[in-house]
Amino acid sequence: MTVYEKMDRLHREVLDHMEERIRERTEKGLLPAFGYTSDLDLVCKAGAEDLSKLLCEALPEGLDYKELRPKAEVNSLEDLAVALVYYSSRGLGGELMLENPSILPGRFPTHEAIGGSAAQAVLACAAVGCPALVHLSDGSPAVRKLMARDEVKLVALDGTLTTPADYYEMQDAETHWILQYQRGATVHGRDFSYEIPLSNRLIVAENTINRLVLLRQEYLRYIEEHAAQVTSQLISGYNAIRDTENLRDRVATIAENMRRYHEANPSGIRYLEGGHIVGEELDQIAMDGLFPVADMMAMNEEEADVIFGRDGIAHDLSDIDSMIEGLRTFRKNNGIRLGMLIHSKDYALYVGDELPGDIREGMVYGHTMAAARATYGTPADISQVREMLELPLSPVGVAFAEKIEADPEKYKDVILVPSRLIERPKYTVGLGDTFLGGIQMCFGL
């Protein structure tokens, strides 16, 4: 049997038993927990013509677009245009803070969706029928309406579980603008043009609620008091905090919660989402507080490029040996307890010690759920996820898997699963967060 056939068989066997595994989790009352942010996304329906119109309007003539560098904050249409050129011309995803809310309303048609890694991950689980617990930072009626599923569990003030329909907040929503761009589209400025190499998105966030990330004590207490039922904790969202003292306070609170959770459930996974440690000056506070209490750290290729580069770790995104060694080095240097994970459009790669759960199963869940999200634009149900079996496996991922299988001793700490290949995803929002949700479902059984 070829490696391609083995990996295809793995995908099919995992999805064949998906409903059974979810039913088992539900009957045992097991929950992954997702923290800490949510918001209301305004997904912009902006094609290449719309983006070109904005660039021509906002950017002067005579620019070398390859030299443009975005600011961290968007105060004008020119700031937005520079950011769009930078990220879309490279096929990168980005996230910036919107300091002038007047520049975007009315510019593009939009539709509402849920934003925030935790909120999108819990919806991905809910769509396949898997109950999960979430911490909302934005618990506004607009957000709760879009999250109203019985599988989405929140902690009420009295410490009991409830659903979004019965939650208690009446605040205004925090809005994030999502501008998607598609691979192969040609974008024009006044005197330049380029073809977008990869589909991706730029997030422009108002950051009115999440700049503080007020942690809900009832959520933290529930995790500590019901640790045996909480199979994993997703730690994400704290990068929205822009104030040093606020961040130091929140990180200390989160780290203490992670320690108490581990004491009560040593098999539970404390899963640190590395996308929130990507080179900002506040990162050191988060790293100092969270690395010592993290069991796993996960990131995509773009984030790995930044994180490895910042730490001076030699790496080549096209060389799997380079990426494996980079993960080994980062884990050793930073004390991540169990292991490291990279997820990309071609593969998922875990490097580390044995985990309390079949990580290959989680990789299949994550990849196929994300592929279905890319296809349908919303969190997908099990039948839609199974449709992804009709897609071929990524040739890049299969080639890497063949290399690893050929030398089991050299790669004894490595697990790699190729993804299903989508050449031109119709939607690029929430794919990484959907993967994060899917992979949590392998822990605890």
- In SS3 terms, 135-179 reads as CCCCCCHHHHHHCCCCCEEEECCCCCEECHHHCCCCCCCCEEEEE
Cis amide prior to 36 (ω within 30 degrees) = yes
Q: Which of 106-115, 229-238, 352-361 has the lowest mean pLDDT?
A: 106-115
Report pLDDT for 166: 87
pLDDT at 300 over 80: yes
Report pLDDT for 55: 92
- pLDDT per residue as tens digits for the range 149-160: 999 999 999 999
pLDDT at 276 over 90: no
Dig out the tokens for 444 from the structure.
């605890």
Beta-bridged to residue 415, according to DSSP, are: 350
> What strands lie across the sheet with 73-74, from one edge to the other?
73-74, 94-98, 200-205, 175-181, 39-44, 110-115
Q: What angle do CA 196, 55, 66 make, to 5 degrees?
A: 55
Long-range Cβ contacts of 19-24 (<8 Å, 24+ apart)? 19/129, 19/382, 21/361, 21/441, 21/445, 22/128, 22/129, 22/130, 22/441, 24/445
Kindly indicate the confidence band of residue 384, based on its pLDDT and cuts at 50, 70 and 90.
Answer: very high
Q: Show Cβ contacts of residue 266 under 8 Å, excluding neighbours closer than 6 positions.
A: none
Q: Give the residue-averaged pLDDT of 281-298.
A: 93
Dig out the tokens for 216 from the structure.
């809900």
Question: Whole-prediction pTM value?
Answer: 0.90
For residue 103, the 8-state DSSP code is G
Mean pLDDT of the chain: 93
Residue 215: how many CB atoms within 10 A of its CB? 18
Torsion sign across C-alpha atoms 310, 316, 320, 321: negative
Kindly indicate the confidence band of residue 279, based on its pLDDT and cuts at 50, 70 and 90.
Answer: low
Kindly indicate the confidence band of residue 126, based on its pLDDT and cuts at 50, 70 and 90.
Answer: very high
Of the spans 43-57, 59-73, 124-138, 229-243, which averages the highest pLDDT? 124-138
Dig out the tokens for 123 from the structure.
């919806």
Q: State the Cα–Cα distance between residues 191 and 63, nearest whole angstrom.
A: 8
pLDDT at 344 over 70: yes
Architecture of domain 46-108+175-205: 2-Layer Sandwich (3.30)
Q: Give the residue-averaged pLDDT of 360-373.
A: 97
pLDDT at 391 over 90: yes
Q: State the Cα–Cα distance between residues 261 and 264, nearest whole angstrom.
A: 5
pLDDT at 278 over 70: no
**For the domain bounded by 3-38+116-172+210-440, which CATH number is listed?**
3.40.1190.20
Q: What is the DSSP string of 72-94?
A: SEE-SHHHHHHHHHHHHHHT--E
Report pLDDT for 150: 96
Would the CATH topology of 3-38+116-172+210-440 be identical to that of 46-108+175-205? no
Report pLDDT for 368: 98
pLDDT at 25 over 80: yes
For residue 341, what are the CA distances in angstroms to 160, 195, 227, 443?
33, 31, 24, 15
Residue 423: how many CB atoms within 10 A of its CB? 10
- Residue with the two structure tokens 């911490």: 135
Q: Where are the domains of the chain?
A: 3-38+116-172+210-440, 46-108+175-205
Residue 235: how many CB atoms within 10 A of its CB? 29
- Which residue type occupies 116? G
Report pLDDT for 422: 87
- pLDDT per residue as tens digits for the range 403-438: 999 999 999 999 999 999 987 787 777 899 999 999
Q: Give the residue-averaged pLDDT of 367-393.
A: 96
Q: State the Cα–Cα distance between residues 358 and 444, nearest whole angstrom.
A: 9
For residue 97, what are the CA distances in angstroms to 69, 71, 145, 283, 285?
15, 9, 25, 17, 20
